[in-house]
Structure 1
Amino acid sequence: MADTAIFDIDGTLVDTNYQHALAWYRALRRFDLTVPLWRIHRAIGMGGDQIVTHLAGEEVERRIGDALRDASGREFAPFVDEVAPFAGAHDLLVDVRRRGFRTVLASSGKEQDIEHMLDLLDARDLADAWTTSADVESTKPAPDLLEVATAKVDGTAAAMVGDATWDCIAAGRLGIPVLAVRTGGFSVDELKEAGAAMVFSSLDELRDRLDETPLAQAGPPGRSAAG
């Protein structure tokens, strides 16, 4: 039984996937590179260290990878004030914490972006820990971020809530079950083929069906439930 609940942030708790896709599109166009938006969207969920090679190839990564990552951050910045949590995000964190789970918000974003998302979610008192890009060298689909997330709370077994195929692939490499929500714009078939244990149309549906999932109740040595 899981004692740790890992929550992806972007696209899962906070509605940012399409803004990230557009930011990457604009960043690539700055360097006269055109990648169709649908392809970029299907790559969202990868970390910045992985996505340039995935979208534009190894030569582009070697030549201008860091510049593209910087440009993407600059293009995303104007969207920050428009970003909002998904319905049910805060309440889901409350429900899972009350069931006794150690709760980690997992992201490979920059520290300042994670701080902003924590405030949007009103989650500072609900998360036992969170991750940033500074915590790992390799991001999803590598499993490093999930290993760090579990270790931050001394967890022994985890379950994850995510929205992207890359969440499912990374978690699968560690044997972590993923409860996937369609909030990131990925289809049921895509998520299941990537390894999702269950797929939900929304966070509210996941909340309603928590008793059917690995997040029904924390197993030992989970901490005592919060009030």
Structure 2
Amino acid sequence: MADTAIFDVDGTLVDTNYQHALAWYRSFRRFDIVLPIWRIHRAIGMGGDQLVPSLTDDRVERAHGDDLRAAWAEEFEPLIDEVRPFDGAHDLLLEVKKRGFQVVLASSGKSDHVEHFLDLVEARDIADAWTTSDDVTASKPAPDLVQTALARVSGTGGIMIGDSPWDAVAAGDAGVDTVAVRTGGFSVDELHDAGAVRVFDSLRDLIDGLDGTPLARPGV
């Protein structure tokens, strides 16, 4: 039985995917690499260590990977105040907590971004733990982040709540099921194909449908 709800943050609780895509587009442009923004969007949900070689190649990663990630951070910073939580983000965390689950926010984002988003969704008094990029060697779709999140609270089993195929792949490789929401802009079929056991259009829809997921009330 799962005892821990592992929440992705960017694209799931806070509406950041398109800001991230634009920041990555601008960072690549600094190195005369012009990528269609739709392709960048398709990779959002990966950590920067995975995203750069996925969108380009190993040669670009070796030559510019760290500089591209530093440029992304600089480009994202002016956009962060535009970010808003998705409707229902705080209420979903609270409801899952009330059901007896440990709540871990599993982010591979920069620590200052994670701190900002914790305040944005008023999660500090709800979450039992959270992660940042400082806590893992390899980001999603590697399973490290999910494993680290479970270890933070000595969880015996988890349920991942995420918005991207990369969340579901990472969770699956860690032996954890995923409940997905379409807030990141990915389709129902894509999320199911990546391993999500249920897909909801919004956080409010997920709250209404929790009893049909592994986050059901005990005895339901």
Which TM bucket (shorter chain)?
over 0.9
Q: Deviations over 1:66-96 (max 9, x none)?
A: 0000000111011111100000000000000
Other structure's SS at 2:103 match: strand
For residues 115 and 193 of structure 2, what CA distance do their matches in structure 1 show? 33
Q: Which runs of 5+ in 2 are unaligned?
A: none
| 2:12 corresponding residue in structure 1 | 12
| 2:164 corresponding residue in structure 1 | 164
Other structure's SS at 2:196 match: coil
Query: Which amino acid counterpart does residue 176 of structure 2 have in structure 1?
Result: I
Give 1:218 shift. 6.2
- Runs of 4 or more consecutive aligned structure 1 residues displaced over 4 Å after TM superposition: none
Give 1:6 shift. 0.2
Query: Which amino acid counterpart does residue 153 of structure 2 have in structure 1?
Result: V
Aligned residues: 219
Pair 1:184 & 2:184 matched: yes
For residues 21 and 91 of structure 1, what CA distance do their matches in structure 2 show? 27
Give 1:217 shift. 3.3
| 1:223 corresponding residue in structure 2 | none
For residues 114 and 125 of structure 1, what CA distance do their matches in structure 2 show? 15
Query: Which amino acid counterpart does residue 136 of structure 1 have in structure 2?
Result: V
Query: Which amino acid counterpart does residue 75 of structure 1 have in structure 2?
Result: E
Give 1:180 shift. 0.4
Q: Which runs of 5+ in 1 are unaligned?
A: 220-227
Other structure's SS at 2:137 match: coil
Q: Deviations over 1:49-81 (max 9, x none)?
A: 111000111000000100000000111011111
> Bigger relative contact order, structure 1 or 2, given CA contacts below 8 A and separation 6+?
1
Query: Which amino acid counterpart does residue 40 of structure 1 have in structure 2?
Result: I
Q: Deviations over 1:12-39 (max 9, x none)?
A: 0000000000100000011000111111
Other structure's SS at 2:84 match: coil
In the TM superposition, what are the counterparts of 1:1-227 in structure 2 within 5 Å?
A: 1-217=1-217
Query: Which amino acid counterpart does residue 96 of structure 1 have in structure 2?
Result: V
TM-score with structure 1 setting the length: 0.95
Other structure's SS at 2:87 match: coil
Other structure's SS at 1:140 match: coil
Whether contact under 8 Å (1:3, 1:218) holds in the other structure is no
Query: Which amino acid counterpart does residue 101 of structure 2 have in structure 1?
Result: F
For residues 187 and 78 of structure 1, what CA distance do their matches in structure 2 show? 29
Give 1:175 shift. 2.1
Other structure's SS at 1:180 match: strand
Other structure's SS at 2:160 match: strand
TM-score with structure 2 setting the length: 0.98
Query: Which amino acid counterpart does residue 175 of structure 2 have in structure 1?
Result: G
For residues 95 and 89 of structure 1, what CA distance do their matches in structure 2 show? 10
- RMSD (CA atoms): 1.0
For residues 175 and 154 of structure 2, what CA distance do their matches in structure 1 show? 17
